[in-house]
Structure 1
């Protein structure tokens, strides 16, 4: 009697059986579809196991030409996406996991993979497209100079066909981000293959159009980003719209990084190709013209202009990501060029966010300065007929009331300054060459001689003597002219930048903290040494604005958050010190595009709430810290690690009678406890004792409920901060005392920034608490009110002593 014996799972017998099932499957039907899919999956599992344990498994796979069977099954079942999906998934898993070089070479041989790549799949099935692009990406990860020959066709040693590349680039602008990302991975793998024939193929006329289409797609994404910025500004509270904007920002960043990866790939010709396309498709026709606002009544085609803010953001991101010398220098040189045919009239150049006074100053940057001389108060105003270059336009934005435009303009200058590929002569012409480098340049000039501007630039910037493969037919410096790069012009531009930065720092009302940090950092780069300190006139402006900031800060010493001001100063001191040392150019700087949180002025209750007052205090401290540190840095050059806060004298260090103020703590009812009644629930009064506990800058109000059978002992039932309690006797009931209890949420560190956290709006809706205490008589109520006021006054005095160095204009700096 014969019994059926099950096959072992990982055995040659099982592999033979699975192959027999595949050979019999001519057509896929509903009845055998699931079985065939499972057969293909199981075969892949056995082959991967055999690759690691038994090489004869793959020998059998090659002998029976199973790859040919896969191709036959695919061609015979064109209308069955299920089988195609399983085949693509199976081969992807095999290629990714098989370690044997011999096995990989077999999988790639005999054009089987190319047949699968060029097969006309029905990509209306999303799952099929997903596995197809994964299949291509998996193959690309195995590309090298040895394996690439399996995927190309040559004629006289010239590559004429490369399906993996040509089929992938057809999907580069697909609506699914996963597909687009995979295409970028595949193409970069191709560009990094160390094979000259591949390098020639990707730049031949048949496929080189991909790079122009790539930059055109980047330009379209720029329009889409600009449209989203406009929509989000109309719906700042829409989380959905903000999410779409963040997605668009991420897509732009990915595209720019991809362009940079192409430039830095192993194909030298792509550097020139990408530079030309980025300049001629994106920068010159769109980004630079969009820096210049035009008359609101002017009719401009929607495909020729984007908002100034979006243009600034895209330029700074481009400079932050790309560090190719030809491209970076081309952008810098183009920014300095004045094209009268495209530049609007000077009267149209004023951005709508600029005030009338600031508009008058838009051309007021120029100071005919000489080396070592102080800035003159008189200014040369540009005539309305004089065309402004991009540099002057950027300077004009530093005077705008729109802090996002100001910040974007500052970030663009920082991007130029931090891009090591930018020629130092261009930095000098832009007026932002660091003083340290400029000092070296002037020393070299003295060594060479008087008529040395041109020779000096060549010595100081070696790139001037090399041929450029940028978008210009000649050297970029020849398009600018020697006059623009001369020492007198660069000194004038430097003076203009300093003037603009000083005006920005001294602006009232003050800009956001991030703007001041960025402006302060730039000032440090231009004036890092004590011997090159700013003029007395500029120091006077800084002292005046610091004095105004002191007055605003002094008001916070009597507000409801006065007790935490020393701690906030310590925290903000460290944040500001770091920001002035390292520019706050974030990874994508997208915060300039995001909506800012605003408090409605009409909501009086919100404006008087402790949350609003706390945020106002935090913003005031930020401004005071940055102005203080800028003044010290520009005069002395260094800052201490910690803020110069005063120590409280011994007489101000009062030890409180009750050490622990935690709710539920059992304590003694001290002699100065004031008996009263309070009700936290309707109809339920409690007999409690009001106790004021204070010492130095700390202070609390305690309500202590007595304990039966324990004389002069009680339990702390509730506490409130002393600061901000604002005691007030009721006008109609002389025995009632009203106390305010501020919000338990302290003002966040991000307050005062351009893009406030989402939680701040929720916190602003929280109402302050209130206690109403009933005393036995009017005298007792008045006594309690005066006692609390006295403790509050002592607390405020202690805070004022600690922060007194910031209230003295000449405590650290001298005019």
Structure 2
């Protein structure tokens, strides 16, 4: 490929200068030279220096400016932008960066009125100004912003909420880079620019779009909008992390003034206002805010509005106000001037079970209220003194604070008590006649654990009794399932599986908030958070019970059982059933066949011994040269097996319910022996199921 020739480049510029309107052949030549220049500027320091030595000449800069100002051909505009972008991202020497920032052409690009309806122009423009923002020194960026009338900042603001993610991310990176400079004159400009109102308005716009999806039942779109909302929360956290009082005050006041009427007002206020959203959606968004925001400036007023008996007048007024249409003056909340709160009763009422639980929306309102409570007791950014006064301070935090006070010689102890209103609401939900889904059980037990089971405190006897009462109600439903022949086998098959699932749930970490109402279960992995975990295929039993409900009951049983074990300081992860005949064998072990009673079959033309123990079917592959030793090829619990006969193959089909190779064909030439072995296997399966069921029943009875 032909190399970039600085002299040829200058000749083209001179020829273009000679014409008031550039001929087409010169435009094409210019595009080609700029393309070659862009390629070599990336790789060669020599070419950068050669270019700069030519470019800093006044006539060359002026030629480039004239081309930019007078050319309406998009290919030339794009090539100019691409060349500038490559320079902005690849310059490494301070001297080169000074050339760039002192150039009329390169500084002009930042404020030039490009045709931003062209997506390629937007892409190259944003890449260029991002390259400037992140590739020059802090002092150079300060000087550039101030001397160029903050055009870099305003240019980035234009695309703060652009449809393309990469453009939007570039815009937000530039603005955050400017904010981090923390320069008085720049800070003053940012505060007066309306940026913080624009940022919060984006929250409001996303919420409105989610609300429209909710009304139109377009559930699939809500997840994408919620992800955008969460990204904005993290971005807002990045700004708060700079710890700049003026910015923090302006941003928190703007957020509260705009979002409190929309969120808390929609949960607790009167319906009918145009800016209200559905209660369920408002609760879900509040839960996200409470979980992810990292400043008490926003969190404390929301917690007070939802749970305090008396609320500062300013906070109450914010919840009932109309969201502002433009930037407003900052305000100060006087926590001494309060009024009786009507919000708290409505908030906790979401947790009270009633006939409305037949409605899926009402259940999810209760579920989201639980996630808000979980965030209250878990988010370390909420003021500890506030949580303590509301009875929502976790026992771990109480213990830490008391230890710290003791070290400092300050003997002001937090009261070791929790809000009876809150816990009574949670217990009334768990103990209601209408069973609730496992996720609600899990979050409820997490909150109970946080509030009552810290290292310095023991749960109140009243609440321990309530937990036992909840456990007994679930046990009664599981016992009914054991009495139903259609559900008994299912319960036995899944009992240990569900225990292993619940065992991995950790009370000491927050459960992630599900994105929407259909997300009601925990995932298989303890580390993967909340997602859909499919239950078994639903099949209704003769007594009106179904397998899906039985599986949920098993999970709910184990999570409450685990919490009670923690309260009693027992090992919460020890499997509750004990087996006396556990085999100390593994696949590929060798055993002495003289120690077993067995039947001889063939599998894939290999001689195999079929042996039985109390709980397991063993398949032993025989090697005549090693007899009487045989290799263990399968260890299968009887309770998991199903059998049928393939007469055409003279084989018993053993279905193991495994995903890979689920069927084992035991071939026997003699038909009577085939029937006899099948009868023995069926009897052993039935007996194993019976014994397993009785073991589970006995275990449940000991807990009633």
Q: TM-score band (shorter)?
A: 0.7 to 0.9
388, 398, 402: which is aligned to 2:351? Answer: 398
582, 585, 598: which is aligned to 1:657? Answer: 598
What is the aligned partner in structure 1 of residue 468 from structure 2? 543
Matched residue of 1:99: which SS? Answer: coil
Question: As a proportion of its length, which structure holds more helix?
Answer: 2
- Structure-2 separation of matches of 1:175 and 1:607: 48
119, 134, 141: which is aligned to 2:127? Answer: 134
Question: Residues 218 and 652 (structure 1 numbering): CA distance in 2 closer, same or farther, change over 3 Å?
Answer: closer
- 1:690-732 superposed Cα distances (whole Å, 9 cap, x missing partner): xx86544445999xxxxxxxxxxxxxxxx99964777899xxx
What is the aligned partner in structure 2 of residue 18 from structure 1? 9
Matched residue of 2:607: which SS? Answer: strand
What is the aligned partner in structure 1 of residue 369 from structure 2? 409
What is the aligned partner in structure 1 of residue 511 from structure 2? 584
Q: CA RMSD in A?
A: 4.8
- Structure-1 separation of matches of 2:166 and 2:404: 53
- Structure-2 separation of matches of 1:638 and 1:387: 44
Residue 136 of structure 2 corresponds to residue 195 of structure 1: no
- Structure-2 separation of matches of 1:517 and 1:595: 11
Number of aligned residue pairs = 625
- Structure-2 separation of matches of 1:406 and 1:738: 52
- Structure-2 separation of matches of 1:793 and 1:342: 66
- 1:300-335 superposed Cα distances (whole Å, 9 cap, x missing partner): 133x21122221222222233322232222322333
Matches within 5 A, 1:382-393: 389-393=342-346
For the 8 Å contact 1:286–1:305, the answer to whether it is kept is yes
What is the aligned partner in structure 1 of residue 426 from structure 2? 501
For the 8 Å contact 2:615–2:688, the answer to whether it is kept is yes
- Structure-1 separation of matches of 2:252 and 2:464: 44
- Structure-1 separation of matches of 2:508 and 2:9: 68
98, 108, 117: which is aligned to 1:105? Answer: 98
Residue 501 of structure 2 corresponds to residue 572 of structure 1: yes
Matched residue of 1:202: which SS? Answer: helix
For the 8 Å contact 1:700–1:722, the answer to whether it is kept is no
Q: CA deviation at 1:25?
A: 3.6
Q: CA deviation at 1:803?
A: 5.0
Residue 554 of structure 2 corresponds to residue 621 of structure 1: yes
- Structure-2 separation of matches of 1:133 and 1:531: 55
Residue 147 of structure 2 corresponds to residue 214 of structure 1: no
Q: CA deviation at 1:163?
A: 0.8
For the 8 Å contact 1:95–1:139, the answer to whether it is kept is yes
What is the aligned partner in structure 1 of residue 76 from structure 2? 83
What is the aligned partner in structure 1 of residue 208 from structure 2? 223
What is the aligned partner in structure 1 of residue 68 from structure 2? 74
- 1:243-292 superposed Cα distances (whole Å, 9 cap, x missing partner): x3222111111212222222333643111100110011112x11111112
Q: CA deviation at 1:105?
A: 0.9
For the 8 Å contact 1:513–1:619, the answer to whether it is kept is yes
For the 8 Å contact 1:226–1:306, the answer to whether it is kept is yes
For the 8 Å contact 1:194–1:266, the answer to whether it is kept is no
266, 285, 288: which is aligned to 1:317? Answer: 288
For the 8 Å contact 1:319–1:328, the answer to whether it is kept is yes
TM-score computed with the length of structure 2 as normaliser: 0.75
163, 175, 181: which is aligned to 2:169? Answer: 181
- 1:494-537 superposed Cα distances (whole Å, 9 cap, x missing partner): 11122122223334444333322222121122222699544555
Matches within 5 A, 1:674-693: none
- Which shifted more, 314-323 or 180-189? 314-323
- 1:114-158 superposed Cα distances (whole Å, 9 cap, x missing partner): 32122221122221122112222222213544212553456xxxx
For the 8 Å contact 1:414–1:585, the answer to whether it is kept is no
Matches within 5 A, 1:341-360: none
Q: CA deviation at 1:101?
A: 0.8
For the 8 Å contact 1:658–1:693, the answer to whether it is kept is yes
Question: Residues 439 and 567 (structure 1 numbering): CA distance in 2 closer, same or farther, change over 3 Å?
Answer: closer
- Structure-1 separation of matches of 2:55 and 2:404: 73
- Structure-2 separation of matches of 1:62 and 1:130: 27
For the 8 Å contact 1:517–1:626, the answer to whether it is kept is yes
TM-score computed with the length of structure 1 as normaliser: 0.65
- Which shifted more, 111-120 or 614-623? 614-623
- Structure-1 separation of matches of 2:348 and 2:109: 57
For the 8 Å contact 1:431–1:496, the answer to whether it is kept is no
Question: Residues 9 and 68 (structure 1 numbering): CA distance in 2 closer, same or farther, change over 3 Å?
Answer: same
What is the aligned partner in structure 2 of residue 47 from structure 1? 41
Q: CA deviation at 1:224?
A: 0.9
For the 8 Å contact 1:697–1:798, the answer to whether it is kept is no
Question: Residues 798 and 34 (structure 1 numbering): CA distance in 2 closer, same or farther, change over 3 Å?
Answer: farther
Unpaired runs of at least 5, structure 1: 1-6, 155-159, 236-240, 345-385, 447-454, 462-486, 671-691, 703-718, 730-736, 747-767
Question: Residues 701 and 782 (structure 1 numbering): CA distance in 2 closer, same or farther, change over 3 Å?
Answer: same
Matched residue of 1:667: which SS? Answer: strand
Unpaired runs of at least 5, structure 2: 321-338, 522-531, 586-594, 621-634, 646-650
Q: CA deviation at 1:169?
A: 1.4
Matched residue of 2:702: which SS? Answer: coil
Q: CA deviation at 1:613?
A: 7.0
For the 8 Å contact 1:646–1:805, the answer to whether it is kept is no
- Structure-2 separation of matches of 1:89 and 1:595: 49
- Structure-2 separation of matches of 1:128 and 1:652: 70
Matched residue of 1:121: which SS? Answer: coil
- Structure-2 separation of matches of 1:598 and 1:531: 36
What is the aligned partner in structure 2 of residue 288 from structure 1? 264
Residue 144 of structure 2 corresponds to residue 151 of structure 1: yes
Question: Residues 651 and 524 (structure 1 numbering): CA distance in 2 closer, same or farther, change over 3 Å?
Answer: closer
- Structure-1 separation of matches of 2:44 and 2:501: 63
- Structure-1 separation of matches of 2:253 and 2:615: 64
- Structure-2 separation of matches of 1:624 and 1:223: 40
- 1:210-247 superposed Cα distances (whole Å, 9 cap, x missing partner): 2112212211211112222444xx46xxxxx52x3222
Residue 215 of structure 2 corresponds to residue 274 of structure 1: no
- Structure-1 separation of matches of 2:202 and 2:83: 33
